[in-house]
Structure 1
Amino acid sequence: MNAAAEQTRAALRHNEPMARHTSWRVGGPADTYFEPPDLPALQAFLVDLPAGTPLLWIGLGSNLLVRDGGFRGAVVCLGKSFAAIEPLGETRLRAGAGLPCAKLAQHCGRQGLAGGEFLAGVPGTVGGALAMNAGAHGGETWQCVQAVRTIGRDGVVHQRTPADFRVAYRSVSGPVDEWFLAAEFGFEHAPPSQVQAAIHALLRRRAATQPLRQANAGSVFRNPPGDHAARLIEATGLKGLTRGRAQVSERHANFIVNLGGARAADIEALIDDVQARVEAATGVRLEPEVRRVGEAA
């Protein structure tokens, strides 16, 4: 076996506990888990994957709830090998899908690139942010996107423009069976000190209002038009509500935290309970941002 094949084999695992790879720290085993060491290895994996095998792509595992019975299929995690930043001009760059959004924001701060400060508040990777048009503090991912690179289930790489996608609030749809590899972003020039000051202010606000020291998946529900999910949840008296070892955060009502030892079933039951109680009290049906996958125990 050559070195490349050995590297690929080492990156492939079976019956991998997804609790190791989700920010909630819950989730049963995936049948197959693959963190490709490079693009050729990813292409070969996709080509060899049986056509009917369910396929789940993850980054940091935020905004994702894997049920306790696990995922019957293959999980692809784009990690450090897909986290490069490549300058394309004075105000443009390409960022790999595996790059944490916070690191992209830090790079923008150092280079004096304004417009992406909000990415410091997005707790996932560039790939995940592209997939759901993630946002924070008034900014959204696709407002900065100029082009994307995707890969199909057949292993073919595509270069696409925003016109190939339908982008809305926390929603993106486009070519079927294609996943993001990288994106080209366009920003604006600004003094680095100004950009860094904006990022630091955002991070201070985040630390003061969000339960960053407890396992969570970011915002659980989308904000309804003209309102905030957190306000509705708090107004319904649900801060601190628990199911098992899962709790509606006492710091931010639109966060659910793992108090330690929570099951995915606890979190899912709490999501459904909050949704039902808020609708009964206010008439507003909150829509989850969190993606739920896999089987119950």
Structure 2
Amino acid sequence: MQAEATLPPLRGRVQARAPLAPFTWFRVGGPAEWLVRPADLDDLLLLLRDLPDTVPLTVIGSASNLIVRDGGVRGVVLRLAGRAFGGIETEKDGLVAGAAALDATVAEHAAAASLGGVEFLSGIPGTVGGAIAMNAGAYGTEVKDILDWAEVATPKGLLRLSATEFGFAYRKAVLPSRGVVVRARFRAAPGDAAAIAARMAEIRAAREATQPVRSRTGGSTFKNPPGRKAWELVDAAGCRGLRRGAAQCSELHANFLLNTGGATAADIEGLGEEIRARVLAQSGVALEWEIKRIGEVAP
């Protein structure tokens, strides 16, 4: 693919053969054929409008729940960043946040304004765009429960969609073709500042105590099957601490995979597939990946 032939004249940053591993929490994976970081919304809309349909388009955020395979990613990898996409504004009964804003930062802004109902976002390691795209949730609340609307850039222009138009399901949302979330409004309610701060502190303490948050990981690996807990199934199959190369199933939380140092994406994904096979053999349950896996397997 030739940039001159496929990419419009963008004002943002465009890199060929750009390393993606530094962006991911696992710190693994091959390069993007093209990594594009638009300057602003107009730049993004131009890209989406003029990018040929034949060029693959992949959107990444903080890459906290992502495995980039070792062979890299074909086409354009899009990453929103900076002030143009990361702003947060508080209102009397909610917040408007850019897609690049961190979920935890949104929760902090809400707490500073004595707005409650979004504390769970402090326990989600990702961005607003990713949280909407996968209906992220924790501690009994999901994005669908607090979303009023989200603006989505598409090849045909900017759309504002209500929460019901995303077809939310467990860890799933339906976006328009080649649509990119750029901004969203979350409902929140005036509350007691001390109680809101205490709830956020409780969530953070729980994460520190039960999850390997300081390790190279990708968050929850598998979706919880209906009425079951993925970590319990993984544990019952004897996979806690299981290794493949430098990849390991966490001994602290069995639904987390770790890069203990020097793992490849193939090590991590292969370990995940081995765990799925063991769980299926032990319990009859076919676990589904919650971590998104993109790109090509290395030859």
Does the aligned pair in 2 maintain the 1:164–1:175 contact within 8 Å? no
> For each residue in 1:199-219, what CA deviation from the matched residue of structure 2 results, as whole angstroms up to 9, or x when unmatched?
001000100111111111100
Give 1:205's aligned residue: 206
Give 1:250's aligned residue: 251
Does the aligned pair in 2 maintain the 1:26–1:263 contact within 8 Å? yes
Whole-angstrom CA distance in 1 between matches of 2:18 and 2:152: 26
Whole-angstrom CA distance in 2 between matches of 1:222 and 1:124: 17
Measured after TM superposition, the shift of residue 165 of structure 1 is 1.8
Measured after TM superposition, the shift of residue 239 of structure 1 is 0.8
> For each residue in 1:170-202, what CA deviation from the matched residue of structure 2 results, as whole angstroms up to 9, or x when unmatched?
111142221211111111111111111100010
Give 1:131's aligned residue: 133
Measured after TM superposition, the shift of residue 108 of structure 1 is 1.3
After TM superposition, the structure 1 = structure 2 runs for residues 1-297 of structure 1, keeping only pairs within 5 Å, are 8=11, 11-80=13-82, 81-87=84-90, 89-154=91-156, 156-297=157-298
Question: Which consecutive residues of structure 1, in runs of 5 or more, have no partner in the other structure?
Answer: none
Does the aligned pair in 1 maintain the 2:222–2:290 contact within 8 Å? yes
Give the alignment's TM-score, normalised by structure 1: 0.94
> For each residue in 1:15-70, what CA deviation from the matched residue of structure 2 results, as whole angstroms up to 9, or x when unmatched?
01110111111110111001122112222222332221110111101111111000
Whole-angstrom CA distance in 1 between matches of 2:219 and 2:107: 17
Could you say if the C-alpha distance between residues 6 and 164 of structure 1 is closer, same or farther in structure 2, counting changes exceeding 3 Å?
closer
Question: Which consecutive residues of structure 2, in runs of 5 or more, have no partner in the other structure?
Answer: 1-7
CA RMSD of aligned residues (A): 1.5
Q: Which secondary structure state, in structure 1, belongs to the residue aligned with residue 53 of structure 2?
A: coil
Give the alignment's TM-score, normalised by structure 2: 0.94
Whole-angstrom CA distance in 1 between matches of 2:283 and 2:259: 27
Compare 261-270 and 107-116 and name the one that shifted more.
107-116
Q: Which secondary structure state, in structure 2, belongs to the residue aligned with residue 172 of structure 1?
A: coil
| Count of aligned pairs | 290
Whole-angstrom CA distance in 1 between matches of 2:276 and 2:85: 36
Q: Which ranges of 4 or more aligned residues in structure 1 deviate by more than 4 Å?
A: none
Q: Percent of aligned positions with the same letter in both sequences?
A: 43
Q: Which secondary structure state, in structure 2, belongs to the residue aligned with residue 50 of structure 1?
A: coil
Measured after TM superposition, the shift of residue 273 of structure 1 is 0.5
Q: What letter corresponds to residue 121 of structure 1 in structure 2?
A: G
Does the aligned pair in 2 maintain the 1:105–1:117 contact within 8 Å? yes
Does the aligned pair in 2 maintain the 1:47–1:153 contact within 8 Å? yes
Whole-angstrom CA distance in 2 between matches of 1:7 and 1:293: 25
> For each residue in 1:138-174, what CA deviation from the matched residue of structure 2 results, as whole angstroms up to 9, or x when unmatched?
11111100011000034x1111112222111111114
Does the aligned pair in 2 maintain the 1:62–1:217 contact within 8 Å? yes
Does the aligned pair in 2 maintain the 1:114–1:195 contact within 8 Å? yes
Q: Which secondary structure state, in structure 2, belongs to the residue aligned with residue 215 of structure 1?
A: coil
Whole-angstrom CA distance in 2 between matches of 1:32 and 1:94: 30
Q: Which secondary structure state, in structure 2, belongs to the residue aligned with residue 201 of structure 1?
A: helix
